[in-house]
Amino acid sequence: MHDIEPYYHWRDKYTAEQDENSPFFGHVYSEFSFTDKIYNYYIHPQWDNFGSNTLYAKILFSDYDKKYCIIEMIGEWNDCLHNDIMFFKREVIDKLIHHDIHKFIIICENVLNFHASDDAYYEEWFEDIIETKGWICFINTLNHVEDEMNDTQLYNFIHFGNEFQNISWRPHKPKQILNNIEFIIQKETPKLN
C-alpha cells in the first residue's frame, strides 16, 4: 500500500496544497514519514486524510472556470461502520461546491471495498449540484465495489459502471478527461432524474 502514490504528472498545472479554495490548502507533505494507515498498512504520505480511518483522497485537479475537479481515492470506502461518505461530503465535497465546483470525477480504481449504509449523503450531493447541471462520476471501480454500489442503488445519483470502467485517464490532460466523461454521460440512457 505504501508504494501506491497519488497521480503526480499534473502537479505542474495544479496542486491542492497551493490552491486557496482547496480543503487541503497549506498542507505540508513528507516524502519520508509514513503516518497514515489503512488498517495495519501504511499509505504513501502524499494522500490526504479527511477524517476517515480507512479512506483517503487526493485532489488531482480543479478548474474553477470549467467547474470540475478530479479526485483520486484509495482504501476501503466504509459507510456502514465509519460513515466515510459523511466525512468526504462535509470535509471535501461541500468545500468544493462552495467554490462552484459541480462536476466531480472520482477515480476509484484503488478503492478496494465498498460497504454501504444508506444513500442520504449521495442524494444530498446530487441535489447540491443538479440545478447547475452538475454530475458525479465514479470511474474504474472494481467489479465487487460496483456490485455493492448497485445494491445500494447509487446509480440514482452517480454515474458509474459499464461505460465508465477501464477508462485510460493517465495519458490525458484533465480537460480531455472531462470532455470524454461528459460525452459518455450525454450519450448514456438518462437514468438520473
Mean pLDDT rounded to a whole number for the chain: 93
The 10s digit of each residue's pLDDT in 28-78 is: 987 778 888 888 888 899 999 999 999 999 999 999 999 999 999 999 999
The pLDDT of 118-125, averaged and rounded, is: 96
Tell me the whole-structure pTM to 2 decimals.
0.94
Assigned domain for 8 exists: no
Domain that holds residue 84: 20-187
Assigned domain for 139 exists: yes
The Cα–Cα gap between 141 and 13 comes to: 26
Assigned domain for 107 exists: yes
Give the Cβ contact number of residue 114 at 10 Å.
Answer: 25
Under DSSP, is residue 23 helix (H, G, I), strand (E, B) or coil?
Answer: coil
Question: What pLDDT was estimated at residue 1?
Answer: 58
CA–CA distances in Å: residue 162 to residues 57, 81, 151, 178: 23, 28, 15, 17
The pLDDT of 131-142, averaged and rounded, is: 97
- Residue 2 pLDDT greater than 80, yes or no: no
Question: What pLDDT was estimated at residue 41?
Answer: 84
Assigned domain for 5 exists: no
Assigned domain for 2 exists: no
Give the CATH number for residue 141. 3.30.750.24
The pLDDT of 125-151, averaged and rounded, is: 96
Assigned domain for 14 exists: no
Assigned domain for 4 exists: no
- Residue 192 pLDDT greater than 50, yes or no: no
E-only strand ranges, 116-184: 135-139
Name the grid cell of 84: 466515510
Assigned domain for 105 exists: yes
State the total domains in the chain.
Answer: 1
